[in-house]
A and B are shown apart, each in its own frame.
Chain A
Amino acid sequence: MSAIFDIDHIALLARLRLTHAEKDKLGRQMETILGYIDQLNQLDTADVEPTSHVIPIHNVFREDEETKPFPEKDYLSLAPAEKKHHYEVPQII
């Protein structure tokens, strides 16, 4: 098991059921990815302002006006299951 993360915990958060072989493979891949982050961390960014967006623009707004692109049944019909206008999912409590 990796020293910097717990693959079982990550899998739980992502709601993924992984086999031993998958855990092993994905764990090693994540080690590599996190290793890359370590590499980035070596850079001195003390004087660099944090970037939250890559394009230098701000204040893109829409007005508070209602529009309705499609009727709701169009979306409901895309769902694996529905009932009485609700999306049906596996019980979560």
Chain B
Amino acid sequence: MKYETVIGLEVHAQLKTKTKIFCSCSTEFGRQANENTCPICLGMPGVLPVLNKQAVEFAVRACLATHCEINPHNQFDRKNYFYPDLAKGYQTSQFALPIGKNGHVNIEVNGNKKRIRILRIHMEEDAGKLIHGENLGIPGKSYVDFNRTGTPLTEIVTEPDLRSPEEAREYLTQLKAILEYSEVSDCNMEEGSLRCDANVSLRPVGQEELGTRTELKNLNSFRFVQKAIEYEVDRQSRILDQGDRVIQETRLYDSDKGVTLPMRSKEEAHDYRYFPEPDLVPVAIDSEWVERARKNLPELPEQKRQRFVKEYEIPEYDAGVLTASRALANYYEDSLALFSQPKIVSNWVMGELLRELKNDDRGIENCPVSPTALTDLLKLIDKGSISGKMAKEVFEEMYRTGKPAEDIVKEKGLAQISDSSSIAKLVEDILEANPQQLQDYRSGKDKLFGYFVGQVMKASKGQANPALVNQLLKDKLKQN
């Protein structure tokens, strides 16, 4: 049978505050276990949490950047569960009155534009990290690091609008860019500052009612999100084809084996008994606050894309690639400030630069070729000192060694010959050495022009300026 895939995503993004959401402990990653703790995040009796204003500012910004309505009346709720990753026995979250709702993120997959609706965005605190058994100590024990406990998060929940693993991946890519651009989150998946759970179900094509869903956890990269969903779609369609029913459950993705496996039901307790958090007072966000935040909102990917097309007159495709991450867009604009030929810079950034980075599995942040170094190379081409073809060779060397373009050109003797007298000499030599071809050319074999060009280029070891060779050869052939 033919099924339609229905996916909803829940993304947890860590807000970029210096301190935790309800206490003044640092949120810095990589510190010694339990260094970033205090009586509040350890849930000692009698302590009083106080909300970090910056966390609310960031959450408001996340809502605006995803076109959400902002709830003027916010409150926090306790989500009760007993698990050692939170010492309090509950997570402080928002349930009944989340900060944002009814937003959207636009995506484009295979040329199809689509709007993915956001159901809600709420603020909450993160839980601690658990290490099990021999990984730290002895079997039969687990170990808790509360450094992450109380780190401010926003949870961003979509409507079930995604229809394929590719769409899910693209949505995440766009959302990540939006959160980075709006300076709300670092979105560092390795450090866990961006995490994703996926709800996946299938239904026969044409059916309105949603099928039974499973929730996928432990999706540590965008690639794993796509792979896990692909696996799950396959698994569920096999179950449905056999006439069986999908069981609603939480499944963990095992990236080594490439499969999803059911979590033991003991680990789940879907009975959270939410109630309003009495230790925190409500948060009122009036229109003045919202407007101030709107004014301070940095340029978002979509706006930047449109501006690039308009201001730099580059194709929409280029603008899309160049604005995929804020760092890349900055790299592009920094380069343009030094060499103002937008399409040429775009070609080099999208072509040579991104190819090298991809081969290297490196981000633009760690690019060994700076905008200054790249544009110095482009200036050499512009001046005619080297050919475009040689420049590619030089670029590879720059990327590998970090040396400036000019040094590499000198070392390798790659400088293009743009001096007319030396090229004229080469042209004469070639014509003299090929009397037969010259005669054939004169008697109408025009195609031999290309042959002469080739010979001159060869004689110059590819270093002659091709435009100049063409010009001088034409002149010479006319003369005689």
Contacts and interface: CB of A to CB of B under 8 A. Distances in A.
Nearest to B58: A64
Contacts of B24: 62, 65-68
B332 to A, nearest CB: 32
A52 B141 contact: no
B83 A92 contact: yes
A66 B39 contact: no
Contacts of A52: 75, 276, 282
Given A53-B276, A65-B18, A65-B19, A84 B142 contact: no
Nearest to A10: B271
Interface in B107-156: 130-133, 136-137, 139-146
A88 B137 contact: yes
Given A53-B281, A58-B283, A62-B52, A13 B271 contact: yes
Per DSSP, are chain A's interface residues mostly helix, strand or loop, or mixed? loop
A8 B80 CA distance: 17
A81 B141 CA distance: 10
Contacts of A64: 17-19, 52-55
B35 to A, nearest CB: 5
B34 A61 contact: no
A92 B50 CA distance: 31
A76 interface: yes
Nearest to B273: A13
A85 B129 CA distance: 13
A8 B99 CA distance: 36
B41 to A, nearest CB: 10
A91 B83 CA distance: 11
Nearest to B85: A92
A89 B144 contact: yes
B365 interface: no
B46 interface: no
Nearest to A71: B35
B132 A91 contact: yes
Given A61-B53, A84-B137, A86-B144, A66 B267 contact: no
Given A13-B82, A62-B53, A64-B52, A91 B137 contact: no
Contacts of A90: 140-142
A63 interface: yes
A42 interface: no
Interface string B272-294: 01001010111110000000000
Nearest to A53: B281
A14 interface: yes
A62 B269 CA distance: 33
B142 A83 contact: no
B145 A86 contact: yes
A41 interface: no
B281 A93 contact: no
Nearest to B132: A93
Contact of A85 (B17, B33, B82, B280): B33
Interface string A71-86: 0100110000101111
A40 interface: no
Interface in A1-60: 9, 12-15, 52-55, 57-60
A89 B82 CA distance: 13
A33 to B, nearest CB: 14
Interface of A: 9, 12-15, 52-55, 57-70, 72, 75-76, 81, 83-93
30 contacts: A13-B80, A53-B280, A55-B281, A59-B283, A61-B51, A61-B52, A62-B51, A62-B53, A64-B54, A65-B24, A66-B19, A67-B24, A68-B38, A72-B37, A75-B42, A76-B34, A83-B141, A84-B136, A84-B143, A85-B32, A86-B137, A86-B143, A88-B141, A88-B142, A88-B143, A89-B84, A89-B141, A89-B143, A91-B132, A92-B83
Given A62-B52, A66-B25, 9 more contacts: A14-B82, A52-B276, A57-B281, A59-B283, A62-B50, A63-B54, A66-B24, A75-B39, A88-B142
